[in-house]
Amino acid sequence: MAWDFSTEPEFETQLEWMREFVRTEIIPLETLDLDRATFARITAPLKEQVKERGLWAAHLPPELGGGGFGQVKLGLMHEILGQCRYAPGIFGNQAPDSGNAELLAIGGTPEQKERFMYPLLRGELRSCFSMTEPGAGADPTLLSTRAVLDGDEYVINGHKWFSSNASHADFLIVMAVTDPDVSAYQGSSMFVVPVDTPGVQILRDIPVMDHPTIGGELYGGHAEILYTDVRVPKENLVGSPGDGFRLAQQRLGPGRIHHAMRWLGQSKRAFDMLCERAVSRYTHGSVLAEKQMVQDWVATSAAEMQAARLMTLHAAWTMDQVGAANARVEIAMIKYWGAKVLHDVIDRAIQVHGSLGFSGDLPLESMYRAARAARIYDGPDEVHKTTVARRILRGYTPADVPTEHIPTRAEAARTKFAEYLEGATANL
């Protein structure tokens, strides 16, 4: 089957506008120390420009207020938006809101869409995805948070952490065990929980490498939450009881594609800094660009970024063709490969800048801290590598003698071509 990543000229025009818009209107915001109110005032007219261009919330179909672009086009968009962490929010497709909107679009009732999804798409509400627990991270089958039906309400009790954006959210999507007596993959469900529901206690935003200080976080932290006898109407169940894992996979697949393309945007920005430094810095008799070691960094980075880009576009194209469930290997591969490329390119850019790269005078040090998380969130590298290896190995069967064993192959070949070999012997 031929792969086709091409887009229409009209869409390329949109991408060109996005490149200029992100470079001139959004990236400069990184240098300012803004509170949330000031940030909102500055970005409100920027969001209006995005909406006027028809690029707002592009991850959803037109009937839900999105662009209906498909994963390849979304990937190309996120490659641009990834240059600056503020850009996705200004385009209405920031995590976790974009994934939560997709989840509600798939499993939400008309009432849930009206109350939560549409305001989320319009930017009137913010949301949180609350799944990870202190004892259940990479293995969500170990979830201990329970949701028990009591009359017309579910009662939720549990302890979550790394619930991204909870401290700024208006509602939470909580994954909890509803039937502990069946397989873990069929026993969990998801619920919409308004953040002001009695019993929801946001304990703190956990300090992390990305933003080690608490407070003033414009794009959401990672909260630790206690749910104590939290009562929500049974109408707040998303989908059907036991749909939790199915919905989670449908939510996380596209999210990993978007992460990988955003990492390419970050990688390209670091790569540009690396190359600019290489042609500018003079030391030991020549500019760095003439040193073979630096040339190796440039060439290796370029090749790795191109490989990551093509792998990600192929995964996006596969999703567009056959759906996320049939693209699990492609999605898993770009998750761990893209994260590695992101880290390595930024690391080389820091190295070529020396002490300047290590300092706060360049964005590289903050990019480096953010990049380290890429190997952990949405599933650590090791889990994705295991997924890829297991699925590939299913296509192989054990053999007592290796298939390529030369003596065995030679015997089979002599039998296959015996007539010709006998004739050649007779003519000697």
- Residue-wise burial string across 161-183, b where 16 or more C-beta atoms lie within 10 A, e elsewhere: bbbbbbbbbebbbbbbbbeeeee
Tell whether domain 9-121 is in CATH 1.10.540.10.
yes
Instruction: List, by residue range, all CATH 1.20.140.10 domains of the chain.
Output: 246-393
How wide is the angle at C-alpha 80 spanned by C-alphas 77 and 86, nearest 5°? Answer: 105
Domain 246-393 has CATH 1.20.140.10: yes
Which CATH architecture describes the domain 127-238? Beta Barrel (2.40)
Please work out, in degrees rounded to the nearest 5, the angle formed at the alpha carbon of residue 347 by the alpha carbons of 208 and 98: 50
Residue 219 has what pLDDT? Answer: 65
What single-letter amino acid sits at 143? L
What is the CA angle 365-130-128, rounded to 5?
70
pLDDT on residue 378 = 86
Q: What is the pTM of this model?
A: 0.91
Give the DSSP letter of residue 325: G
Identify the pLDDT of residue 216.
47
The number of beta carbons lying within 10 Å of the beta carbon of residue 346 is: 29
Joined tokens for residue 390: 């297991």
Hey, what amino acid is at 262?
R
For position 367, what pLDDT does the model report? 96
Strands (E), 200-342: 200-205, 222-233, 237-238, 282-283, 286-287
Residue range(s) occupied by CATH 1.10.540.10 in the chain: 9-121
* The predicted structure's pLDDT at residue 323: 86
HSE-CB for 117 with a 13 A CA cutoff: 25
- Can you give the pLDDT at residue 43? 96
Burial of 284 (0-12, 13-18, 19+ CB in 10 A): exposed
pLDDT in tens, the chain (428 residues): 678 888 899 999 999 999 999 999 999 999 998 988 999 999 999 999 999 999 998 887 777 766 778 889 999 999 999 999 999 999 998 888 988 998 998 899 999 999 999 999 888 999 999 999 999 988 888 999 999 999 999 999 999 999 999 999 999 999 999 999 999 899 999 999 999 999 999 999 999 988 776 544 666 789 999 999 999 999 999 999 999 999 988 777 777 888 999 999 999 999 999 999 999 999 999 999 999 999 999 999 999 999 999 999 999 999 999 988 899 999 999 999 999 999 999 999 999 999 999 999 999 999 999 999 999 988 899 999 999 999 999 999 999 999 999 999 999 999 999 989 987 666 65
CB 207 within 8 A of CB 162: no
End-to-end CA distance of the chain: 49
